Amino acid sequence: MQIEVLKSKIHRCKVTQAELHYVGSITIDEDLMDAANMVENEKVTIVNINNGERFETYVIKGERATGTVCLNGPAARKVQVGDIVIVISYCTVNFENARSHKPTLVFPDQHNRLV
């Protein structure tokens, strides 16, 4: 049996931009992506702590060391610049391996920098 488990999480990063007139996605600083073991085009769930919105999109690489977390396209309507969000990705693993699976968790500072 296969089950879906938490693969990666960027916990409590700050939205730096919201670009409505853009093809949908979330742009994330490549340093944060690397630290969270996320790849470009990976499906993610976004949880907005400020307003309770929860939605899915995919990741686009942002410029390194900029702290960029930008919601693009329709997702831009679900956030405000300055909102705090959690970015979550999942993976499918064999049930027996799920007990030993360890997700990658990233806790950036208030400027979306690694600490």
Rounded to whole angstroms, the Cα distance separating 8 from 107 reads: 11
Amino acid at 97: N
Rounded to whole angstroms, the Cα distance separating 36 from 66 reads: 16
- Residues classed as catalytic: 25, 58
Helix (H/G/I), strand (E/B), else coil: 78: helix
